[in-house]
Amino acid sequence: MTQSDILIIGSGAAGLTAALTLAPRFRVTVLAKGALNDGSTAWAQGGIAAVLEPGDTFDHHVEDTMVAGAGLNDRDVVEFVVEHAPAAIERLIGLGVPFATEGNALHLTREGGHSHRRIVHVADATGWAVQEALQRAAESHPNITLVPDQVAIDLATSRHEERYSGAGNVWGVYAVDRRTGDVNLYTAKATILATGGAGRTYLFSTAPRGATGDGIAMAWRAGCRVSNMEMMQFHPTCLYNLEVKNFLITEAVRGEGGRLINPTTGKRFMAYYDAVRMELAPRDVVARAIDAEIKRYGLDYVHLDISHMPADFVRGHFPNIHEKLIGLGIDMTTQPIPVVPAQHYTCGGIVIDRDGRTDLPGLYAAGECTESGLHGANRLASNSLLECFVFGEACANHIAAHWDALPPVPKIRPWDESRVTDSDEEVVIKQNWTEIRRFMWNYVGIVRTTKRLERAQHRIAMLTEEVADYYGHFRVTPDLIELRNLLQTAELIVRSALHRHESRGLHYTRDWPETLPEAVDTVLVP
Ligand code: FAD
Ligand code: SIN
C-alpha cells in the first residue's frame, strides 16, 4: 500500500497543474497508466485560448464559447474560466513554455468559432511543449512522486474499509502495475481524477490509445453523476490515410486561410452550409458539412487546401504537420490534404462544481473527464487545455483550504484475487473492443437516429453481460480494465443520446431535428 496526502490519477495538463499547485504544502502522488506523456495533452496542436489582444474582451470570449456550446453552457463557469485564462498563460510562461511571438507580443492564431485572434501556441505542437514544461517542473519537485504504468481499476471507497463506516468517502484507488501484473492500493485523504476523455470508444479518433473513459467509468461505478455524455465532438479535419489513422490537421490551418474543397466538383463547399463563417464555423457545423458532402458524392474524404498561401508561411506555421505529410508523400505547400472528420473530444463527463468537487466526499475531478459547465453542447476550439489549467488549480485550492477538515484514511482492504484465474481467451477482449468502436462509429456518430441508438444499446447490453462474466472470473489486465470502461462509457453515451429529444450542438438526430427553446443538461444518476 502507498499512502500520500493527495492522489492524482492522470499526468496530463489537469493532473500536473493540480500537482504543482499542491506540492508546496503536500505530498502528492501522480499515477499514469502508461508513460507520463501518453495522454491527449502531449498531442494538442492548435493552442490555448485567452483574451490577450487589445481589441478582444472577456465578453467576446464568453459569447463565442456560449454560441459554440449552443446555450447549454453554464455562463458563470464560462466567465470564471475565461477570466482566469491570461493568468494561466502567465504561469505556463513562468514554467518555460516557449509560446510563439511576433515582435514583443505573443502570436495569436485563429480557430473556428472565435471572433478574434486569441490562440497562443507553440507552432503546431503546443501540447508537447506544455506537457514537457509541466512534467519537468513536477519531476524536479521533491513533494511530487510520479508513477507511470499504473492502470487504475476502481476507486477505493467506504465500501472497501476494513470496518465499514458508511461515510461514502473516496480513499484512493486500486491499480494494476502494467509491468508486474500486481494490484497496488494507493490511498490518500483526497483523490483527483484527471484521466482525460473517452475518444477511443469510436473507431476513428484523434485521441491517443489510452482515451478509454476510465475516470468517467470509475466515478460512475462509485456513485457520481455524469452529464451530457451525448456531446461527443468530431474534429472536421483528421488526415485520411490508410496507414496513419489518427493524425489531426489542426483547425489553425483553416484559421490561417485553409479552404475545404469537394474533390469531385473541385469547389469550395462551406458556403452551402454556413455562408458567413465558412471554414471557421464551429466544429459541429463543419464536421456535419463534410459528412454530408462525403455521403452525397460517395467520397472517401474531402480536401483541405492551403497551397494558395506562400510556402514559407505554411512551413513556418505548421512545421510538424508539414514534415509528417512530406513523409507520407503530400506536400501541403503545393497539394491539398485529404481529410475526414474523426472523434476528437468528450464534452460530457463527471459532474463537478466550480471547485472541482464531485458528488463523493474526498473525490475531485478536472480536465476532459469532467462536465464542468464550460463547453455545453460543443467545445469551442482551444478551450480545453484552458479548462485543465483552471480546474486543476481550482481542485488544488479547495483541497488546500479544507485540508484540516478532511478525515484521516481508515484501513482499506487489499485487492482480493482469491476467486479468479488467468484468462485463457484474450481474443475475447480484442474482438469486443473492435466491435464496440465500430458500432459506436456507425450508430452513434455525427448524424444519429433513434433506431441506430437502440441498435447500439442492444449490442452494449449483450457485451456488458459477457464482459462482466469475464471480469468476474479472470485476473484483471490493462486491456480488460479498458474494455470494461469503454463499454461503460459507450453505455452512458447512448443512454444520454436517447434521452435528448432535440438536436443541439454536437447531438444531431434525424428523429428530433429541432432545437428546444430551453437548454437542459442530460444528467444521469447512478
Ligand atoms: P490527458 O492529457 O488525456 O491525460 C490523461 C491522463 O490520465 C494520462 O496521464 C493517462 O495515463 C491517465 N489515465 C487515464 N486512465 C487512467 C487509469 N485508468 N489509470 C491511471 N492513469 C490513467 N485542446 C486544446 O485546448 N487545444 C488544442 O490545440 C488541442 N488539440 C488537440 C489535439 C489532439 C490530437 C487531441 C486528441 C486533443 C486536443 N485537444 C486540444 C484536447 C486536449 O488536448 C485535451 O482535452 C486535454 O489535453 C486533456 O487533458 P487531461 O489532463 O484532462 O487528460
Ligand atoms: C486543433 O488544433 O484543431 C485542435 C484544437 C482543439 O481541439 O481545441
Does residue 324 carry a pLDDT above 80? yes
- C-alpha 212/C-alpha 208 separation (Å) is 9
Task: Compute CA distances 86 → 284, 359, 367, whole Å.
Answer: 27, 30, 18
% of the chain at pLDDT higher than 90? 91
Mutate to test the pocket of ligand 1, among 195, 209, 221 (most ligand atoms within 8 A of CB): 195
131 alpha carbon – ligand 1 mean position (Å)? 10
At 16 the pLDDT is 98
Given 283, 357, 379, 452, the catalytic residue: 283
41 CB less than 6 Å from ligand 2? no
pLDDT (tens digit per residue) in 271-292: 999 999 999 998 889 999 999 9
Does residue 237 carry a pLDDT above 80? yes
169 CB less than 6 Å from ligand 2? no
Angle at 134 between CA 130 and CA 138, to 5 degrees: 165
- Ligand 2, atom 2: nearest CA belongs to which residue? 46
Mutate to test the pocket of ligand 2, among 81, 110, 111 (most ligand atoms within 8 A of CB): 111
367 alpha carbon – ligand 2 mean position (Å)? 15
Mutate to test the pocket of ligand 2, among 317, 344, 389 (most ligand atoms within 8 A of CB): 344
> In what helix (H) or strand (E) does residue 340 lie, and over which residues does it extend?
strand 337-346
At 421 the pLDDT is 85
- C-alpha 301/C-alpha 333 separation (Å) is 19
382 CB less than 6 Å from ligand 2? yes
DSSP per-residue codes, 297-324: HT-S-EEEE-TTS-HHHHHHH-HHHHHH
- What's the order of all strands across the beta sheet hosting 108-109? 48-49, 119-120, 108-109
- Structural domains in the chain, CATH included, are 2-230+347-405 (3.50.50.60), 234-341 (3.90.700.10), 427-510 (1.20.58.100)
- Residue 366 pLDDT class (50, 70, 90 cuts): very high
Let me know if 413 is a catalytic residue: no
At 174 the pLDDT is 98
At 424 the pLDDT is 73
285 alpha carbon – ligand 1 mean position (Å)? 24
Task: Specify the ligand 1 atom closest to the Cα of 366.
Answer: 52
522 CB less than 6 Å from ligand 2? no
432 CB less than 6 Å from ligand 2? no
Residue 235: φ, ψ to 5°: -80, 135
Those residues whose C-beta lies under 8 Å from the C-beta of residue 38, and which sit 6 or more positions away, are 32, 208, 209, 210
Q: What mean pLDDT is predicted for residues 204-224?
A: 97
Binding-site residues, ligand 1, Cβ < 6 A: 9-15, 31-34, 38-41, 43-48, 126-127, 150-152, 175, 194-196, 206-207, 210, 214, 248, 345, 367-368, 382-385, 388
197 alpha carbon – ligand 1 mean position (Å)? 7
- Residue 242 pLDDT class (50, 70, 90 cuts): confident
pLDDT (tens digit per residue) in 392-438: 999 999 999 999 999 999 999 999 888 888 877 778 888 899 999 99
Task: Specify the ligand 2 atom closest to the Cα of 233.
Answer: 7
Mutate to test the pocket of ligand 2, among 109, 126, 235 (most ligand atoms within 8 A of CB): 235
Task: Specify the ligand 2 atom closest to the Cα of 344.
Answer: 7
Q: What residues are paired with 238 via a beta bridge?
A: 248, 340
43 alpha carbon – ligand 2 mean position (Å)? 10
pLDDT (tens digit per residue) in 115-173: 999 999 999 999 999 999 999 999 999 999 999 999 999 999 999 999 988 888 999 99
Q: What mean pLDDT is predicted for residues 233-258?
A: 92
Those residues whose C-beta lies under 8 Å from the C-beta of residue 494, and which sit 6 or more positions away, are 444, 453, 456, 457, 460
At 419 the pLDDT is 80
44 alpha carbon – ligand 2 mean position (Å)? 7
At 243 the pLDDT is 86
